Amino acid sequence: MPDRKKQQVHFLLFHIGALLTALAFFLYVKGSRAGLFGPVSCVFHDLFHVYCPSCGGTRAILELLRFHPVRSFLALPVVPLGAVAGLVLYVRAWVAFVRREKKLLWLPGWLIWSFLGLYLIYGLVRAVLLVGFRIDLLGDFYPR
Ligand SMILES: [Zn+2]
């Protein structure tokens, strides 16, 4: 398959994947609210009464969808920051696609490592605040 054709197929598959992910999240939220199933539980949260680094992710996404970026940031900072980075990368990919550049996805290593670092450090700080000082940033264990 020629490079341009392959690139178009990959770009189309990316959009189909993004749409299916958005649909799955929408159905999860609707189903959860309708009582069809409970919220996805977390082993750390349920058994050890601490937050794992991913706890608050659903809340962060929902707050972002309600246009509350600050609340989203407080629930899980990598979500709104990742949305901004994802939007920039997405626009960049479209520009590259229209210009027929060879490389559509520009994802530098420093960006990936920064997000991973923020994700882990925030998770650790949140756990230390909860266990050591009873400061509960999500409010599940010590309601504000
Ligand atoms: Zn968790």
Q: Give pLDDT, residue 132.
A: 94
Helical axes 109-133 vs 78-98, angle rounded to 10°: 170
Tell how far the Cα of 127 is from the centroid of ligand 1, in angstroms.
11
Tell how far the Cα of 129 is from the centroid of ligand 1, in angstroms.
15
**What DSSP assignment string belongs to 78-122?**
HHHHHHHHHHHHHHHHHHHHHTT-S------HHHHHHHHHHHHHH
Tell how far the Cα of 50 is from the centroid of ligand 1, in angstroms.
8
Residue in this structure with the two tokens 């909860």, named with its chain if needed: 130
Tell how far the Cα of 94 is from the centroid of ligand 1, in angstroms.
34
Q: Is the pLDDT of residue 38 over 80?
A: no
Q: CA-CA distance, 137 to 127, in Å (whole number)? A: 9
Q: Average model confidence (pLDDT) for the chain?
A: 89
Q: Give pLDDT, residue 144.
A: 67
Identity at 60, one-letter amino acid code = A
What is the tens place of the pLDDT at every residue in 71-92? 999 999 999 999 999 999 999 9
Tell how far the Cα of 42 is from the centroid of ligand 1, in angstroms.
4
Q: CA-CA distance, 102 to 96, in Å (whole number)? A: 8
Q: CA-CA distance, 56 to 44, in Å (whole number)? A: 12
Q: Is the pLDDT of residue 128 over 80?
A: yes
Q: CA-CA distance, 69 to 81, in Å (whole number)? A: 9
Tell how far the Cα of 57 is from the centroid of ligand 1, in angstroms.
8
Tell how far the Cα of 10 is from the centroid of ligand 1, in angstroms.
32
Tell how far the Cα of 59 is from the centroid of ligand 1, in angstroms.
12
The number of angstroms, rounded, from the C-alpha of 15 to the middle of its chain's C-alpha atoms is 17
